[in-house]
């Protein structure tokens, strides 16, 4: 048994807290005091993941120092925008525990990946890694079977926490390619918007399969350019997460694409969604990083054009289909 501080009480943070509470002491933290008070009163997270009662082994905190007191692991489960301020809070503690983060994307202002943010904010020598892969919060909270990746530059650290966090319904695999794992988690959200657009326009299963396959090639090219390994993208952190997010009805990013295909404006879509859709925030940053590296990412660039209102969803699909023939790579 370990003491795990789950930092971030959204849907995914709550699902992980519920998953690990039977085996570990779990403290669940949010910077929103009113949210903590609501959960303390109901012993549920009705705001973000309704219907699941908290066991007694989950303690609730709005004070990060109390949440992390004695913690052997800090699991940061905020949106990417919340990663840096949360890591700064951790760095300010008397003792900073090892850190895993479960957010996916690039930091919007800096265009940095999560590990690059961690390098800037965490004290030297603090072990860290990323938890990523195909995982809808609702299904994990319900105890449905799944598998995800834990990637860290220190493979021994990854293996240790894979063993410690082993769960009969949520299998973990160790990996030492942090860059590849993070790129897979970031770019798949952009491609899920594209998949929602093609599905919303009624273009069928063939179009979706082509999109997912060519999208995976884009992810792999960018990962390699940033120092990741192509084979990582053939696993859970790449192909697995991409397939789930592009096809699953619980995918927020896919829903953005579906509503774009219906002609709704992006602000209206985001208001209706009520949750963060990381692909919207990540897309322009991905294009920026790809341009700086000379990486060809036509699908990602097309999604950015739709999100910016520079082209209609139908026209962007037609443009992609009429590009010059190429050798498949």
Q: What is the pLDDT of residues 189-212, one digit of tens each?
A: 999 999 999 999 999 999 999 999
Domains of the chain: 3-176 (3.40.50.720), 187-321 (1.10.1040.10)
> Is residue 319 over pLDDT 90?
no
What pLDDT score does 84 carry? 98
Residue bearing the bigger pLDDT, 232 or 275: 232
Q: What confidence score (pLDDT) does residue 318 get?
A: 83
Q: Name the band, by pLDDT with cuts 50, 70 and 90, for residue 232.
A: very high
Instruction: Report the alpha-carbon distance of residue 299 to residue 191 in Å, rounded.
Output: 7
pLDDT score at 273: 86
Cβ neighbours, 10 Å, residue 3: 17
| Res 46: pLDDT | 97
**Whether 262 contacts 85, CB under 8 Å:** no
For the four alpha carbons of 222, 132, 271 and 193, in that order, the dihedral sign comes to positive
Residues with Cβ < 8 Å from 10, sequence gap 6 or more?
48, 49, 77, 78, 79, 137, 275
pLDDT at 305 > cutoff 90: yes
Supply 53's token pair: 């009662």
Mean pLDDT, to the nearest integer, of 20-40?
A: 97
Q: pLDDT tens digits for 110-169?
A: 999 999 999 999 999 999 999 999 999 999 999 999 999 999 999 999 999 999 998 999
- Residue 66 is among the residues annotated as catalytic for this protein: no
Q: Can you tell me the distance from the alpha carbon of 173 to that of 134, in angstroms, rounded to the nearest whole number?
A: 12
- Judged on CB neighbours under 10 Å (0-12, 13-18, 19+), 168 is exposed
DSSP β-bridge partners for residue 147: 171
Q: What is the DSSP letter of 122?
A: S
Dmax over CA atoms of the chain, in Å, equals 60
For residue 277, what pLDDT band results from cuts at 50, 70 and 90? confident
User: Does residue 301 surpass a pLDDT of 80?
Assistant: yes
How much is the mean pLDDT over the chain? 95
CA–CA distance, 186 with 242 (Å, rounded to integer) = 10
Is the pLDDT assigned to residue 329 strictly greater than 80? no
Which residues touch 121 (CB under 8 Å, ≥6 apart)?
A: 84, 87, 88, 91
What pLDDT sits at residue 322? 79
Can you give the pLDDT at residue 42? Answer: 97
Query: CA torsion, points 181, 185, 187, 190, in degrees to nearest 10?
Result: 170
Question: What phi and psi, each to the nearest 5 degrees, are found at residue 13?
Answer: -60, -40
Q: Is residue 26 helix, strand or coil?
A: strand
Q: Which of 138, 238, 150 shows the shortest CA–CA distance to 186?
A: 238
Query: What pLDDT score was predicted for residue 275?
Result: 73
Higher pLDDT, 166 or 73: 73
CA distance 12 to 82: 14
**pLDDT number for residue 143:** 96
Q: What is the mean pLDDT of residues 7-20?
A: 97
Q: Say what percent of the chain tops pLDDT 70.
A: 99
Question: How far apart are the C-alpha atoms of 318 and 312, rounded to whole Å?
Answer: 10
pLDDT given for residue 310 in this prediction: 94
Structure tokens at 268: 């209206």
pLDDT at residue 225 is higher than 80 = yes
* Residue listed under structure tokens 């910077």: 31
Q: Mean pLDDT across the stretch 179-196?
A: 97
**What are the structure tokens assigned to 318, written together?**
């037609």
Question: What is the rounded distance in angstroms from the CA atom of residue 194 to the CA atom of residue 305?
Answer: 11
Of 66, 104, 188, 326, which one is the catalytic site residue?
188
First to last CA, the chain: 46
Question: In whole angstroms, what is the distance from residue 32 CA to residue 287 CA?
Answer: 33
**What is the predicted pLDDT for the residue at 321?**
80
Task: Output the CA torsion sign for 295, 296, 302, 305.
Answer: positive
pLDDT per position as a tens digit, 110-126: 999 999 999 999 999 99
Q: Is residue 325 predicted with pLDDT exceeding 80? A: no
- Locate all alpha helices (DSSP H) within 147-265, ordered by sequence: 155-164, 178-200, 204-225, 241-247, 252-261
**Pair of tokens at residue 42:** 């109901």
């Amino acid at each position: 048994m370990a003491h795990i501080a789950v930092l971030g009480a959204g849907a995914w943070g709550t699902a992980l807290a519920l998953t690990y509470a039977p085996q570990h002491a779990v403290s669940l933290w949010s910077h929103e005091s009113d949210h903590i008070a609501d959960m303390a009163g109901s012993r549920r997270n009705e705001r973000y993941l309704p219907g699941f009662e908290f066991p007694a082994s989950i303690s609730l905190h709005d004070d990060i120092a109390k949440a992390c007191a004695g913690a052997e692991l800090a699991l940061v489960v905020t949106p990417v925008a919340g990663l840096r301020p949360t890591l700064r809070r951790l760095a300010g503690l008397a003792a900073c525990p090892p850190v895993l983060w479960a957010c996916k994307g690039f930091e919007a202002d800096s265009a940095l990946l999560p590990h690059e943010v961690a390098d800037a904010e965490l004290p030297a020598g603090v072990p860290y890694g990323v938890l990523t892969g195909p995982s809808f919060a609702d299904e994990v909270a319900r105890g449905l079977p799944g598998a995800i990746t834990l990637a860290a530059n220190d493979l021994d650290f990854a293996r240790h926490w894979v063993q410690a966090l082993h769960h009969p319904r949520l299998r973990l695999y160790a990996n030492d390619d942090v860059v590849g794992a993070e790129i897979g988690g970031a770019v798949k959200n952009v491609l899920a918007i594209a998949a929602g657009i093609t599905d919303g326009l009624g273009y069928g299963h063939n179009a979706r399969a082509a999109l997912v396959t060519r999208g995976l090639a884009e992810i792999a090219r960018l990962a390699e350019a940033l120092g990741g390994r192509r084979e990582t993208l053939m696993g859970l952190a790449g192909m697995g997460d991409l397939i789930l997010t592009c096809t699953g009805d619980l995918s927020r990013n896919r829903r953005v694409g579906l509503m774009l295909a219906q002609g709704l404006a992006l602000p209206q879509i985001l208001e209706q969604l009520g949750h963060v859709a990381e692909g919207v925030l990540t897309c322009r940053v991905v294009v920026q990083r790809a341009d700086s590296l000379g990486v060809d990412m036509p699908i990602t660039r097309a999604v950015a054009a739709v999100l910016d209102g520079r082209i209609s969803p139908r026209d962007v699909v037609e443009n992609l289909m009429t590009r010059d023939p190429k050798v498949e790579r």
